Structure 1
Amino acid sequence: MDEEERSHPFRDSQQDVAAARITPDTPQTRAPAYRLAFTDTEFLLREELRPVRLQLELLKPQMIMDARGIRSTVVMFGGARIPAPAEKDSARTPELAALSRYYDEARSFARQMTERSLESYGAENVICTGGGPGVMQAGNMGAFQAGGISIGLSIVLPHEQAPNQYVTPDLCFNFHYFAIRKMHFLMRAKAVTVFPGGFGTLDEMFEALTLIQTGRMTRVPFILFGREFWHKVINWQALAEAGTISPEDLELISFVETAEEAVAIIDNWVVPCP
């Protein structure tokens, strides 16, 4: 008996799953009640099992990333509809076509951060996107072109959407619960970057900002690409003047236009004194 067998004297779950496959076929063994609970999909999908499913969605990516030795990530939020410059002529609006420059900035930023990640053998500064098209694809592409790994946190949507081809396959996760997906975006975040986007991007941006503002999350570089876009869609100063946020809350955000500006902010970051 080896050391592992001595430390685990009971039969493991995989052995019992294998045994269940060769169980004699009878009315009793065919009944749903006889299935092992953790292999019974109908049982796991019951309303009462939601807390278990939430826990599983938290644990699976966490355990896989821990096993890969990933200690910190650089998060890239941004619109799925932002086209690559080569595709801007087919954009839905002239405004989207103009925003295509941020696709290249996203790719360049991810490439530069991944070059730093390679210095730690992929443990630090790992690019993390939503795994979809647009800015997300640009981020994963930049990491791929640098020869590194990147994470994709996909979400099941009513319409078909496959992860983009540049996400590292072993780090391509799929979520049912938006809340758990958001936790994984921020649990290891060393920096958060936000590119122009729509409702989803705004949702992710404001939730992360709220966590930092309220002290529930350590302050990290929070970088918005596209001054003109962000000042047009959100009147930041009006929020401060109305008193709904404090003037110093505006200091949580940096605005940039280029990948180089964003990298410089991250490279020179010093955690502010509380």
Structure 2
Amino acid sequence: MTRRRHTEIPQPPHPIERREPLPWEHPKSPEEDAEVAARLQAIMQDPSYLEPDRDVDFLHTDTTRGVRLQLDYLKAEQALTHHDIRHCIVVFGSTRLREPETARRQLAAAHHELAAHPGDARCARALRLAERRMELSRYYDVGRQLGYLVGKAGEGPKDSRLVVMTGGGPGGMEAANRGAFEAGAKTVGLNITLPREQYPNPYLTPGLCFQFHYFALRKLHFMKRAAAIVALPGGFGTLDELFGALTLIQTRKVPPIPIVLVGEAYWRSVFDVDFLVDSGSIDAEDTELFWYAETAEEAWAGIRAWHKANGSSLFNGASDAAANTPS
């Protein structure tokens, strides 16, 4: 073999392949130990041999919860940043909010059922509930129109500086995503994994629907880019998000943003803010953290007027949006 002169510059080696194999590329020979195959199988099939990011059982242990919290935050954050989403109009609302046409069909079915079983208490209750849902169904249209108005506020489908964000489910959330979808705009949904699996509503933008494991990280993402919060009539979930946001703003943990409660009669029945003031549980100024609206146009005009009075822009940069992030 001709020896290479060390003063010669060698050819760059292949990034992976070698001319000669390394010793560990082949297992120990069975001629040296007859039990090699069985021992190697036991070693390499044990979960300890898996790389940590491929060991699902390990990733779901109590000790790796901190890593899972980071991933729950990071995956959505990376995608939202990639899409240049800076501000969101966050819309909450009941999963049980029906489209008006659906509510009408269910009301007719409830009337028919009671007529077939007069005096049946269960049928009578079902009819009362169907009547109430028929009344509330108008707020599905409010959410849908609001989503449309927000979707049309930018400079076309590629402008994602301001988008509608919801919890990604049916009802009031679907309505807002649907309106933005019909406007040709991007729209975001933050789903949550639950024991009873939920489907995302079909009006979300592919690539902008996320599943969270932790409610806390989902709440963080609701607030991080929120330029306003709009609450349609809702139940426990809506109340949870609404009062969480109000507390963050009341305590100035985050800078104030507009909060609009759609359906004054509904919300005054749900909680008596004047009673809270009279009881000394909150201060009078805390009642100024939100206001009521009945229509999408009224809510949207109020949000824009609030930002104008505040000297803030719904379309400002990502660095400004980050000022709303709870630390």
1:115 aligns with one of 143, 152, 155 = 152
TM-score (norm 2): 0.74
Identical-pair percentage:
43
The code of the aligned residue for 2:168 comes to: G
**Aligned residue in 2 for 1:224:** 261
Partner of 2:216: 179
Question: Mapping of 1:48-63 within 5 angstroms?
Answer: 48-63=63-78
Render the CA deviation track for 1:217-240: whole Å, top value 9, x for unaligned. 111110000000001111110101
Provide the residue aligned with 1:71 in structure 2: 86
Calculate the aligned-residue CA RMSD, in Å. Answer: 2.0
Q: Helix, strand or coil: the match of 2:233?
A: coil
**Match of 1:161?**
198
Distance 1:267 1:160 in 2: 37
The 1:75/1:34 distance shift into structure 2, 3 A limit, reads: same
Q: Does residue 1:135 correspond to 2:162, yes or no?
A: no
1:236 maps to which residue? 273
Mapping 1:3-14, distance limit 5 Å: none
Residue 122 of structure 1, CA deviation:
3.0
1:13-52, CA deviations, whole angstroms, 9 ceiling, x for partnerless residues? Answer: xxxxxxxxx9988332222111111111011001111111
Match of residue 47 from structure 2: 32
CA contact (8 A) 2:85 2:163 kept: yes
Q: Are 2:283 and 1:271 equivalent residues in the alignment? A: no
SS class of match (1:164): coil
Q: Tell me the equivalent position of 2:325.
A: none
How far, CA to CA, are the matches of 1:72 and 1:23 in structure 2?
A: 55
Q: CA deviation at 1:271?
A: 2.0
Partner of 1:41: 56
* Residues 183-224 of structure 1: CA deviation (Å, up to 9, x unaligned): 111100001000100011101000000000100111111000
SS in 2 for 1:117: coil
Contact 2:157 2:185 in 1 (8 A): no
244 and 234 in structure 1: CA distance in 2 versus 1, 3 angstrom threshold: same
Which contiguous aligned blocks of 4+ residues in structure 1 show a shift greater than 6 angstroms?
22-25
Q: Secondary structure at the match of 1:152?
A: strand
What is the count of residue pairs matched by the alignment? 253
Counterpart Cα distance in 1 of 2:150 and 2:184: 11
Distance of aligned partners of 1:38 and 1:23 in 2 relative to their CA distance in 1, 3 Å threshold: farther
Larger Rg: 2
Distance 1:29 1:114, change over 3 A: same
Instruction: Indicate if the aligned counterparts of 1:107 and 1:138 stay in contact, CA closer than 8 A.
Output: yes
Residue from 85, 99, 109 that aligns with 1:84: 99
Shift of 1:121: 3.4
Distance 2:158 2:277 in 1: 42
Q: CA deviation at 1:160?
A: 2.5
Letter in 2 for 1:162: Y
Residue segments in structure 2 that go unaligned for 5+ positions in a row: 1-14, 16-24, 28-39, 108-125, 312-327
Unaligned ranges ≥5, structure 1: 1-10, 12-21
